[in-house]
Amino acid sequence: MPTGVALRDVRTQLFDAAERVLLRDGAAALTSRAVTTEAGCAKGVLHRHFTDFDAFLAELVLDRVARTDTLLATRDSGAVVDLLTDALVGLFTPVAVAMVGLITFRDGLRARLRAAGQPGIPILTQGGAAISARLRAERDAGRLAPGTDVDTLALTLLGTGHLLYAGRFDGRPERAEVRKVVSSVLGGALVEPGSR
């Protein structure tokens, strides 16, 4: 006897269900049964489309990482601090923060991601690369001091941003709080008075 409802785009529905479970219940509660129950389908549906649960999770992470570029897209003009604030706010969505925890929690998932050519924690790795690129563009435009070590600044912004967003029970930080951190980290590297 069939269970659940017909799924039109199985991958999308399963990924969305996994996201909801992850956000609501955390990484420890994310199981194939929890995902298929949330999606309203039989457990076998997931295993017909993915070799195992870690393969499913790896595809989920890679799908969400592919969306990161859109989230990190910032306008091309404005104060450097505002541009970097926008980048951090765009990167550290609730889903991205939960994905970092998921990747840290599951050894098999990390192994799958490494095998797929995704070093470290892919969401943070891609975010760090995008922030480095933004900082490099700002340095090349003369809005950051010529000797600015953009890679170290990017890592500092990324790590500080993650700490600002992770583990909060009172919701996401206000943009002003993120901006204050960005302004502090960039501090002496800023050249242009209107950059702040």
Question: How many domains are contained in the chain?
Answer: 2
147 in the same domain as 77: yes
Q: Which domain holds residue 72?
A: 62-189
Predicted local confidence at residue 85, as pLDDT = 93
- In the structure encoding, which two tokens stand for residue 120, read together? 């470290």
Can you give the pTM of this predicted structure? Answer: 0.82
CA distance 167 to 164: 8
Nearest CA to 57 among 142, 115, 7? Answer: 115
114 occurs within a structural domain: yes
Quick: pLDDT tens for 156-187: 999 999 999 987 777 789 999 999 999 999 98
CATH classification of the domain holding 29: 1.10.10
Side-chain half-sphere exposure of 119, counting CA atoms within 13 A: 3
117 in the same domain as 26: no
CB–CB of 45/14 below 8 Å?
yes
